Structure 1
Amino acid sequence: MLNSTLHGARVVIIDDVQANMRLLESSLRTMGLGQVRGFSDSAEGLRWLQDNPWDLLLLDLDMPEPDGFTILEALRERDRTAQQVILVTALGDAASRRRGLDLGGNDYVTKPVDLPELLLRVRNCLEFGHTHRMLLRERNVLDERVQERTLRLRDSYRAVIRALARAADYKDNETGKHIMRIGETAALIAQGLGAPATWVELLRLAAPMHDVGKIGIADQILRKPGKLSEEEFRTMQEHARIGSQILSDSGRSSLLELAAEIALNHHEKWDGTGYPSGLQGEQIPLSARIVALCDVYDALRSERPYKPGWTAERAQAFIREQSGKHFDPAVVRVMAGLFDEIELVRATLSDD
């Protein structure tokens, strides 16, 4: 008995002997299959297979060109589980059997055919193909749901990150646009350095959290209008370690690991005079070298209650002057070639 879900299965028969083709066609219809199509012209049958959806093919091998082997070659790229082929042929020698199965046949039946056995094989192939298609559909639905869930989680994750970064910047009289500019500018430079796209995107998201440790610094130090005392400056320097601790304690995440790395090291200097560890040259992680450059440039260009913003020319000259001192010369060279794009980012994400 044929499962009712298989009554609509699309079955094709290609056999150059019309009597054989008609017998198989009527037998398949008798078992409940409503979409059976037979071809005694193998070329016509092949064209139909290539232009239409189908589920099962009963294929003779010994025919005028294109013979069954040629047809199997033409169908080599099909999904062999979803579109099965039963070879029904008088060629019973081992070489023909091996060749037919190697070219993509799923089953092999020699003539004269035991019709009840063939119909059982047809049923088994159709049930197997149907199960395969159902599993594929379920997998696709699950994949879509997982992707949708992942996107929602990523959006929520980014919102929390932006809120955390903004909290630190507002505490320091910075603006929300400042942290966005740092992320976009860092991504531009990372692209210019030839970094992988996945790392560029991680840097875009992680860079805005560079000063999150300022949440742990007292307002009287953060907002002091004059120069900090030595003790106050040492306290201010602690924001790098505080930020790293905040982000490192947030669980395993490549994004937060990168953000913690940046928070800890973005005040290190190429010549070793930075803080908190006095790292020098390539001891400083590349992420922090990039963000340090972006942060200083944006700070120079931005107007604050305690200072006017520098002109683009003055800020760019300072960046070049600090190459090999404060900043990595290679990163400076890339940034210098991107000043126009960076100024466009500033215009698009202006504080106004």
Structure 2
Amino acid sequence: MFEEISKILVVDDENVNLELISAVFIDSPNIMVITARDGLEALEVLKEHTPDVIVLDIRMPRMNGIEVLNVLKSDPNTSHIPVVVLSGDEKERKNALKNGANDFIPKPFDAEELKLRVINNLQVKKYQDLIKDINEVLQKEVMKKTKELREALELAKEAEYEMVLKFGMISEFRDEETGQHIRRISYYSRLLAQLAGLPESEQNIIFYASPLHDVGKVGIPDNILRKPGPLTPEEFEIMKLHTIIGGKILTSDTRFITLHAGKIIALQHHEKWDGSGYPKGLKEQEIHPYARIVAVCDVFDAMTSDRVYRPAFTVEQTIDIMKKGKGSHFDPELLELFMENLDSFLKIKETFKD
């Protein structure tokens, strides 16, 4: 899958788990598994190796997984490395996510699920590295070129948008939404930002960042993400974690404007105007304008599209339902702008239909 060798550091105090996880990747020649038997040994390994993903057990002697996480995320040299925690305790998993973990795998673990989750995180890391490298190259080139550089910048921006779309589609492939869904969100969001009076520079930011709103779904188990019926309260609590996971995935240097805006949107697009949303229960102006805009657009597109658990609503049904959420779910001014310009949004929907 990857041309270069990808390194995975597995930290677990049980030898049988180290052997099982190493065996999972024995048929992956481009993946190297490095092991450590506790947190202190892992920190020593990190002095010689820079892994692309760390698989970290929580309960270990000498230095537990949470303590290791705190060290990793406080060090600029390791804070960018995705960490997948292993734990059989739901509270421990949530605590790990709050402390900087990017994903989790329940214990006892399923070998195939573990492999897929690690590879998903490797893909995310590769996209982040690629975007970072492109931005760094462009910053250097700005010093040297004029007309040729401007043309290169335009091409790079188009390439960045395509990469962002592919990045967003990692999760879309798993929950059976389509690439057209995230393209529609992109165009809807830019239009609503324009109608709301945001500067053109911010209209462009939300255009590029909004496709990343659900990237955190890459960390949600398939049996929940693809469930054909209603989620149980416990399953819904896990589903809600996709906002936090998305925020962790998109955490980056604030110089990378698209990723920083994507982080805000991923974290806040399920917050509600009246404070009843998640993950933090923000309300009104506490919610970033980008997230309030994407919330309106995402709900409209989701409701008017087929899902595994229900067929699409008609546009009329969707509008009636969304009107009931004015001032409770949605920013009332943004929803009004959306309704007043519905024909323009429907043209976008037709242009990028599934």
TM-score band, normalised by the shorter chain? 0.5 to 0.7
Offset from partner CA, 1:231-252 (integer Å, 9 cap, x none): 2111111100111111113663
User: Which of 288, 294, 301 does residue 285 from structure 1 map onto?
Assistant: 288
Give 1:214's aligned residue: 217
Q: Which moved more, 1:220-229 or 1:174-183?
A: 220-229
Give unpaired runs (5+ residues) of structure 2. Answer: 1-141
CA RMSD, Structure 1 to Structure 2 (Å): 1.8
Give 2:161's aligned residue: 158
Q: C-alpha distance in 2, partners of 1:141/1:269?
A: 46
Q: C-alpha distance in 2, partners of 1:238/1:250?
A: 23
Give 2:226's aligned residue: 223
Residue correspondences, number: 213
Give 1:330's aligned residue: 333
Q: C-alpha distance in 1, partners of 2:253/2:306?
A: 33
Give 1:167's aligned residue: 170
CA offset at residue 305 of structure 1? 3.4
Give unpaired runs (5+ residues) of structure 1. Answer: 1-138
CA offset at residue 152 of structure 1? 3.3
Q: C-alpha distance in 2, partners of 1:170/1:255?
A: 22
Q: C-alpha distance in 1, partners of 2:143/2:281?
A: 52
The answer to whether 1:236 aligns with 2:239 is: yes
CA offset at residue 350 of structure 1? 0.4
On the 8 A contact 2:168/2:215 being kept in 1, the answer is: yes
Give every structure 1 segment of 4 or more consecutive aligned residues whose post-TM-superposition deviation is greater than 4 Å. none
Give 1:304's aligned residue: 307
The answer to whether 1:262 aligns with 2:260 is: no
CA offset at residue 226 of structure 1? 1.8
Q: C-alpha distance in 2, partners of 1:234/1:329?
A: 27
SS across alignment from 1:163? helix
The letter of the residue matching 1:324 is: G
Give 1:27's aligned residue: none
User: Which of 320, 324, 330 does residue 321 from structure 1 map onto?
Assistant: 324
CA offset at residue 168 of structure 1? 1.2
- Report the TM-score, using the length of structure 2 for normalisation: 0.58
Cα distance change of structure 1 residues 321 and 209 upon mapping to structure 2, 3 Å threshold: same
CA offset at residue 170 of structure 1? 1.6
Cα distance change of structure 1 residues 156 and 271 upon mapping to structure 2, 3 Å threshold: same
Q: C-alpha distance in 2, partners of 1:303/1:231?
A: 24
Give 1:191's aligned residue: 194
The answer to whether 1:344 aligns with 2:310 is: no
SS across alignment from 1:324? coil
Q: C-alpha distance in 2, partners of 1:332/1:157?
A: 30
The letter of the residue matching 1:194 is: G
Offset from partner CA, 1:52-91 (integer Å, 9 cap, x none): xxxxxxxxxxxxxxxxxxxxxxxxxxxxxxxxxxxxxxxx
